[in-house]
């Protein structure tokens, strides 16, 4: 006789100097935890904030657990915390996300399938515009990339489907730890979620998009405020190169990357696209670390197989 599907769920919010965002967003998350049919709790990981975020949560949300990180490791702060808890499913959210009251259960339901690694919700911006959730991956001119479907018409994104990656969503905690969680190679951030989901797909696990679960996301304002638009672009391109050098194993994709790299760099210089060039230069010192992390063993799917499924 099969055991009933009764997973425990922990909604974990990552926070850094986001007191005002927590005041705006946390009530909806706590409310959703109460309405879920699963055993569901809420935890805030504070990444060494200096704006009394912790005191605010303690004073206003007595049912919310708080974990105080010793340093700000961005998404990598999840890794150690997930080792210390026992919940079956973790829903990882940013501090600038509000949720619909019923957003938990549609995410959890898909984990009845044992090969599910991640399920991400449908996401709108605060102003009601469609942000994403259903994403795809591709190789173009020797460079890896991801993007979202249906930027113009969110109503076309109403079908449950596979997806490639998401910076937030529900994860099987044991599979997350099995894969090593988010990789600090990409700090201070960008593409660590794509890296994790690519490794999951390689292992034969699946990532789903569940549009019945809806969240509202303010957007990457804190990252752009910290690094600026150009700085963010440089970090993004740096991490694209690191992703390529760490993860891509197809000889054809690697050959295309090598052959087209320098023509692309020259073309970028001529067009004044300095982000691509500086990103490459900043990636070079990290090349040994990226190569050391390459692991092509225990891979059930080839690169091309993944791009066919979520391309």
pLDDT in tens, 141-193: 999 999 876 555 556 678 899 999 878 999 999 999 999 999 999 999 889 99
3-state class (DSSP) for residue 10: strand
For the chain, the farthest-separated pair of C-alpha atoms sits apart, in whole angstroms, at 67
Pair of tokens at residue 43: 């935890």
Reading the block at residue 217, the tokens are 């996301």
Token reading at 13: 């919010």
pLDDT at 147: 87
Of 128, 56, 76, whose CA–CA distance to 98 is shortest?
128
- Rounded to the nearest 5°, which phi and psi values hold at 18? -120, 40
User: Please, are residues 265 and 143 in contact by the beta-carbon 8 Å criterion?
Assistant: no
What confidence category does residue 233 fall into, taking pLDDT thresholds of 50, 70 and 90? very high
Digit-coded pLDDT (tens) for 194-232? 999 999 999 999 999 999 999 999 876 667 777 888 999
pLDDT of 159 reads 86
Instruction: Answer whether 0.75 is exceeded by the pTM.
Output: yes
Statement: residue 132 has pLDDT above 90: no
Each residue's pLDDT tens digit, 2-57 = 678 899 999 999 999 999 999 999 999 999 999 999 999 999 999 999 999 999 99
């Amino acid at each position: 006789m099969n055991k009933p599907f009764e997973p425990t769920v922990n909604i974990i919010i990552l926070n850094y100097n986001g007191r005002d965002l927590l005041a705006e967003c946390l009530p909806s998350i706590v409310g959703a935890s109460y309405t879920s049919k699963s055993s569901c709790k809420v935890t805030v990981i504070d990444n060494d904030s200096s704006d009394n975020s912790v005191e605010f949560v303690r004073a206003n949300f007595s049912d919310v657990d708080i974990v105080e990180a010793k340093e700000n490791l961005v998404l990598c702060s999840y890794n150690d915390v997930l080792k210390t808890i026992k919940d079956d499913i973790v829903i990882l959210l940013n501090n600038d996300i509000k949720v619909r009251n019923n957003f938990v259960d549609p995410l959890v339901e898909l984990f009845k399938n044992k090969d599910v690694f991640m399920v991400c919700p449908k996401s709108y911006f605060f102003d009601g515009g469609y942000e994403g959730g259903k994403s795809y991956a591709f190789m173009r001119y020797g460079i890896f990339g991801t993007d979202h479907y249906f930027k113009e018409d969110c109503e076309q994104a109403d079908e449950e489907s596979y997806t490639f990656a998401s910076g937030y969503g529900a994860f099987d905690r044991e599979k997350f730890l099995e894969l090593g969680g988010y990789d600090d190679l990409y700090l201070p951030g960008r593409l660590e979620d794509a890296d994790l989901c690519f490794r999951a797909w390689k292992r034969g696990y699946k990532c789903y998009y569940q549009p019945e679960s809806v969240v509202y996301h303010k957007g990457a304002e804190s990252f752009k405020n910290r690094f600026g638009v150009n700085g963010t672009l440089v970090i993004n391109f740096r991490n694209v190169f690191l992703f390529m050098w760490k993860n891509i194993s197809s000889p054809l994709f690697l050959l295309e990357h090598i052959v087209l790299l320098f023509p692309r760099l020259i073309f970028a210089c001529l067009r004044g696209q300095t982000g691509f060039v500086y990103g490459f230069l900043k990636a070079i010192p990290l090349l040994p670390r990226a190569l050391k992390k390459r692991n092509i063993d225990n891979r059930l799917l080839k690169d091309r197989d993944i791009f066919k499924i979520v391309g």
